[in-house]
Amino acid sequence: MNDTPEAGSGPLSGLRILDLTQFLAGPYATMIFADLGAEVIKLEAPVGDWSRVLPPNFVGEDSCYYLSINRNKQSIVVDMKNDEGLEVVRRLADESDILVENFRPGVLNRLKLTYEGLSKRNPGLIWASISGFGQTGKDRDRPAYDMIVQAISGGMGMTGEPGGSAVRSGIPLGDLSAGMYAVIGALAALEERRSSGKGQYIDISMLDCQVSMLCYQAAYYLHSGNNPGRQGWGHDSIPTYRGFNCANGSSLVITANTERMWQALCDVLAISELKEDARFTLNEDRYENRHELWPILEGAFMIHEADHWVPLLLDAGIPVGEINNLEKSLANPQIVERDMVLPLVNEDGDVIRVAGNPIKMSRTAKKSHEYPPKLGAQTAEILGHVLGADADEISKLIDSGAVKEYAPKNAKGD
């Protein structure tokens, strides 16, 4: 732990993360650590992370879901229902900087794995816990998944077309934001440890994270008492910050939020007469008369497809983006050039392409990325290099059922 990073190994090289997570929020957090060069030990039950078997897409034995969020990690299989297995977990925690888990509150307590107990053995240990509702409050024991917290937070209630049903976000914001906040909290605790020498417990609630992301919408309501309705593809303050349909089923989003942009938009769309229309002179006028303005703008946009308008609007200094599907998005040269489509290859020649790391660092970026590990692929290696176990001890742990090594599915009769 805490060695000097080698060139190309990432800024967090020398940091060890004990990863007791599965599904999405926790593995996403630990993948961020791994992308930044930390050693991440993914500790799995004998059945493995349940995301390994989520349909519909698989590469080899593992699902694309699992493969998308577990690169650059090592896998060890430990049976935490086995007393020797539990001691392996404790010993790994002794040698780790940060432990990340996303069990429901109380589960690890019942296994006698607690922050209080582990921090007595390793006072510098930082424990980051991710749960649906946090470790306190009346709902602490309530189960939660991404869409549940999107709904409860109020964010889902603002998403969808006005007058229509609420719609969840197309990406799992509840899980991903909790994972990111866990990393931020753990790195803050790590920085504090430099002066105190002590770790601490970090309590991350998925619901808290979603409420935090309500941002100005929460402030608007708390100030005015007015509940925002469904936002659709518009903005509740800027009438020309919204989406518009174009010809042949295409669509785009524009931001014309200054007077210069507004006048340029009118010129590009060949509706210059609107610049002199008293209903639309200033932003507050356009906001007041937005329901009259929007059909006029959409009528102009419908003359051509989105890809006709995009370069014209950009040339006029108006921020614009075509509303893409993933096929178009992931083929975008800007995205590809910045390594946001990342190919990973394992020793069997299996290939998976996944979304890349958005953190670009000038001096200490991690230069290579490893394919997500097979279940238990590094069990013996981790026991040896982290715990100093010799071949005899490793063999005894395997024979007792405390740990397991990787076995191909066909070798297990599956």
- State how far Cα 38 lies from the chain centre: 17
Q: Name residue 141's beta-bridge partners.
A: none
Average pLDDT for residues 203-213, to the nearest whole number?
Answer: 99
Ranges of each domain in the chain: 16-213+337-412, 241-245+251-322
Same CATH topology for 16-213+337-412 and 241-245+251-322: the answer is no
- Pairing, β 98-101 against β 126-131: parallel
Q: Which of 79, 146, 175, 208 is catalytic?
A: 175
Tokens 């998005």 found at: 329
Q: Name residue 281's beta-bridge partners.
A: none
Whether residue 144 has pLDDT greater than 60 = yes
**CA count, 13 A, side-chain hemisphere, 184:** 8
pLDDT tens, position by position, 79-108: 999 999 999 999 999 999 999 999 999 999
Distances (CA, A) of 55 to 51, 52, 64, 112, 153: 9, 9, 8, 34, 28
Q: What is the pTM of this model?
A: 0.94
Whether residue 176 has pLDDT greater than 50 = yes
Q: Name residue 201's beta-bridge partners.
A: 127
Average pLDDT for residues 341-353, to the nearest whole number?
Answer: 96
> What whole-number distance in Å separates Cα of residue 144 and Cα of residue 142?
7
Whole-angstrom Cα Rg for the chain:
26
Is 175 a residue of the active site? yes
pLDDT tens, position by position, 370-398: 999 999 999 999 999 999 999 999 999 99
> What whole-number distance in Å separates Cα of residue 209 and Cα of residue 173?
9
Distances (CA, A) of 117 to 35, 101, 113, 339: 30, 15, 7, 42
The closest alpha carbon to 44, from 72, 22, 26, 68, belongs to 22
Specify the CATH number for 16-213+337-412; select among 3.40.50.10540, 3.30.450.40, 3.90.1170.40, 3.40.50.10300.
3.40.50.10540
Which band of pLDDT confidence, cut at 50, 70 and 90, is reported for residue 237?
Answer: confident
Average pLDDT for residues 271-278, to the nearest whole number?
Answer: 97
Q: Quick check: bond before 56 cis, omega within 30?
A: yes
> What whole-number distance in Å separates Cα of residue 103 and Cα of residue 140?
12
> What whole-number distance in Å separates Cα of residue 278 and Cα of residue 275?
8
pLDDT computed for residue 236 by the predictor: 84
| Domain 241-245+251-322 annotated CATH 3.40.50.150 | no
> What whole-number distance in Å separates Cα of residue 137 and Cα of residue 139?
6
In this structure, is the dihedral angle defined by the CA atoms of residues 177, 183, 186 and 187, taken in order, positive or negative? negative
Yes or no: say if 228 and 235 are a contact pair by the CB < 8 Å rule: no
Which band of pLDDT confidence, cut at 50, 70 and 90, is reported for residue 414?
Answer: very low
Yes or no: say if 101 and 30 are a contact pair by the CB < 8 Å rule: no
The closest alpha carbon to 68, from 159, 179, 168, 152, belongs to 179
pLDDT tens, position by position, 331-341: 999 999 999 99
Whether residue 265 has pLDDT greater than 80 = yes
Which band of pLDDT confidence, cut at 50, 70 and 90, is reported for residue 7?
Answer: low
Task: For residue 176, give the amino acid letter.
Answer: L
Which band of pLDDT confidence, cut at 50, 70 and 90, is reported for residue 222?
Answer: very high
pLDDT tens, position by position, 181-200: 999 999 999 999 999 999 99
Task: For residue 354, give the amino acid letter.
Answer: V
Average pLDDT for residues 296-324, to the nearest whole number?
Answer: 98
Whether residue 6 has pLDDT greater than 70 = no
Whether residue 410 has pLDDT greater than 90 = no
> What whole-number distance in Å separates Cα of residue 393 and Cα of residue 180?
37
Helix boundaries (H) for 158-237: 173-196, 206-212, 215-224
Tokens 């790590």 found at: 190
Q: Name residue 100's beta-bridge partners.
A: 19, 128
Q: Is 39 helix (H, G, I), strand (E, B) or coil?
A: strand
Token pair recorded at residue 343 = 């190919």
pLDDT tens, position by position, 37-57: 999 999 999 999 999 999 999
Whether residue 413 has pLDDT greater than 50 = no
The closest alpha carbon to 294, from 333, 242, 232, 358, belongs to 242
Which percentage of the chain shows pLDDT scores above 90? 95
Whether residue 1 has pLDDT greater than 80 = no
